[in-house]
Amino acid sequence: MSFDLVLFGGTGDLAWRKLMPALFQAFRHGTLPEGGRIIGIGRDDLSDAQYRELIRARFDNVELAKRPKPEEFERFAGLLHFLRMDLTQPQDYGRLATTLRDRNAQTVVMYLATAPDLFTRVCEQLAAAGLNLPNTRLVLEKPLGHDLASNREINDVVRGVLDERQIFRIDHYLGKPAVQNLFAMRFGNALFEPLWRREHISNIQITIAEDMGVEKRGAFYDKTGALRDMVQNHALQLLCALAMEPPINSHADAIRDEKLKVLRSLVKWTPETLDQHVVRGQYAAGNVGGQLVPGYREEKGVDPESRTETFVALRAEIASWRWAGVPFYIRTGKRLAAREAHILVNFREAPHPIYQAPRNSWNRLVINLQPRDGVQLHLLAQGQENRRNGAMLEPVHLDLDFDKRFGSERVGAYERLLLDVIAGRLNLFVRSDEQEAAWRWVEPIMEHWAADTHGPRPYTAGTWGPSASSAMIARDGFCWSEEC
């Protein structure tokens, strides 16, 4: 199948860091359809040869196992082209149209890896140049707006020029192998479904912790914060995957309909729950991995009096027969104690205990997302040591490591998503109504914070966030994984 992949922002950070390495991996794995062309778009005046050379040099920063050998790069470079465009100039879209018409590929992917404030302009100009054809696919990177109104504005423009089935909104968490395994575990096995409900599950915890700070993105992050950067999208998508009903089939809309139902069933915020069930924090100087690191307000590009949150912990509930009364805790933050993302599904205690068990040793399913990718099932067993103490059980666990089982050369998130766009598979992309429902749910939190004079609670870099986050979960009688 012939394709043209037009990469707006072809000399930008995302292209270097994620997209080119992912495209190369797909090329190496032989999964990138043959007969493709990758056209980088940028403002510089570069020839194809110069663009190829720039990309070759960037691969030097990629980990050795994923770096092309010279002859491999030669072959990959044959796909790479460059077109200079000023995205504000209509005539430049005419030149793009000519470049694409000459080849007439079966599929044309327009990937907007640009600053988000260009999204609507680029879409309008693509349409004006007659480039919104039935074989066009548009890929949008987050952030898609900074609130419900701006998100709708973008979606309205995009949907005005293309059909929803031509629009691929990326949430790269959906491309992670571990997240696809969560779907497979729930809907490909009969074992969990009967237990996957309020009668058996006492609470669910989603942790997406990062040990790094805002790196070079201080100015962007200061206008964004953890709620918009991580909760509105990645964390809520994970919550949907955990809480959704089994879809009627594996088609994109069947899956997205069920995710949308979850987002619409999230219990609305009240002044009381906004006060008690949401914690925001901001990192202060501390020690991460044995190194002293500055506080958030000292980071480059950040306002020294910034009130932007770098940590959020919250307690959500879903109003449905399956989940009524089960708390879903979400926490995410920068400069935490470790880079670690996992989900804990905590089951209820045995209804009639005839054994003694250590405290907090309930059955638990741990879904590790990163850096490890796998599943652990925590159970209680009769060990030998405690025989003397009567019937005291011991915690044990079954441990499944997907990297070991399936090999570490697995398809990465961007590789998966790019291949799906080219193939026209929408399953792992977010529909506009999902995005809007997610914004509708987080917006009251943003408004509450804007009106609240206290600002985020400071936490020392290298810890697990402000103590109010532990207090929030402890009020329900539970604890975060590292505390139990």
Which residues are known catalytic residues? 234
Pairing of strands 201-209, 340-347: antiparallel
309 touches ligand BG6 (CB under 6 A) = no
Q: Which is nearer to ligand BG6, 3 or 119 (CB)?
A: 119
Q: Which is nearer to ligand BG6, 210 or 299 (CB)?
A: 210
Minimum Å gap between C-beta 430 and ligand BG6 is: 13
Q: Which is nearer to ligand BG6, 92 or 141 (CB)?
A: 141
Minimum Å gap between C-beta 355 and ligand BG6 is: 39
Cα-flanking dihedrals φ and ψ of residue 412, to 5°? -75, 170
Q: Contacting ligand BG6 (CB under 6 A), which of 229, 420, 434, 436?
A: 229
The three-state (H, E, C) secondary structure of the chain, written as one string: CCEEEEEECCCCHHHHHHHHHHHHHHHHCCCCCCCEEEEEEECCCCCHHHHHHHHHHHHHHCCHHHCCCHHHHHHHHCCEEEEECCCCCHHHHHHHHHHHHHHCCCEEEEEECCCHHHHHHHHHHHHHCCCCCCCEEEEECCCCCCCHHHHHHHHHHHHHHCCHHHEEECCHHHHCHHHHHHHHHHHCCCCCHHHCCCCCEEEEEEEEECCCCCCCCHHHHHCCHHHHHHHHHHHHHHHHHHHCCCCCCCCHHHHHHHHHHHHHHECCCCHHHHHHCEEEEEEECEEECCEEECCHHHCCCCCCCCCCCCEEEEEECECCCCCCCCCEEEEEECCECCCEEEEEEEECCCCCCCCECCCCCCCEEEEEEECCCEEEEEEEECCCHHHHHCCECEEEEEEEEHHHHHCCCCCCHHHHHHHHHHHCCCCCCCCHHHHHHHHHHHHHHHHHHHHCCCCCEEEECCECCCHHHHHHHHCCCCCCHHHC
Minimum Å gap between C-beta 336 and ligand BG6 is: 12
Q: Which is nearer to ligand BG6, 14 or 400 (CB)?
A: 14
Number of residues that bind ligand BG6 (CB under 6 A): 2
Minimum Å gap between C-beta 313 and ligand BG6 is: 17
373 touches ligand BG6 (CB under 6 A) = no
Minimum Å gap between C-beta 369 and ligand BG6 is: 8
Minimum Å gap between C-beta 314 and ligand BG6 is: 18
Minimum Å gap between C-beta 321 and ligand BG6 is: 33
Residue with tokens 């260009």: 118
Q: Which residue is nearest to ligand BG6 (CB)?
A: 229
Q: Which is nearer to ligand BG6, 85 or 236 (CB)?
A: 236
Cα-flanking dihedrals φ and ψ of residue 201, to 5°? -105, 130
Q: Which of residues 55-84 bind ligand BG6 (CB under 6 A)?
A: none
Minimum Å gap between C-beta 332 and ligand BG6 is: 9
* Two tokens, residue 327: 């708390």
Binding letters toward ligand BG6, positions 154-193, x by CB under 6 A: ----------------------------------------
Q: Which is nearer to ligand BG6, 210 or 436 (CB)?
A: 210
222 touches ligand BG6 (CB under 6 A) = no
92 touches ligand BG6 (CB under 6 A) = no
Q: Which is nearer to ligand BG6, 4 or 229 (CB)?
A: 229
Cα-flanking dihedrals φ and ψ of residue 435, to 5°? -60, -45
Q: Distance (Å, rounded) from C-alpha 464 to C-alpha 462?
A: 7
Q: Which is nearer to ligand BG6, 210 or 309 (CB)?
A: 210
CB 370 within 8 A of CB 386: no
Q: Which of residues 186-215 bind ligand BG6 (CB under 6 A)?
A: 210
4 touches ligand BG6 (CB under 6 A) = no
415 touches ligand BG6 (CB under 6 A) = no
| Residues at the site binding ligand BG6, with contacts judged by CB under 6 A | 210, 229
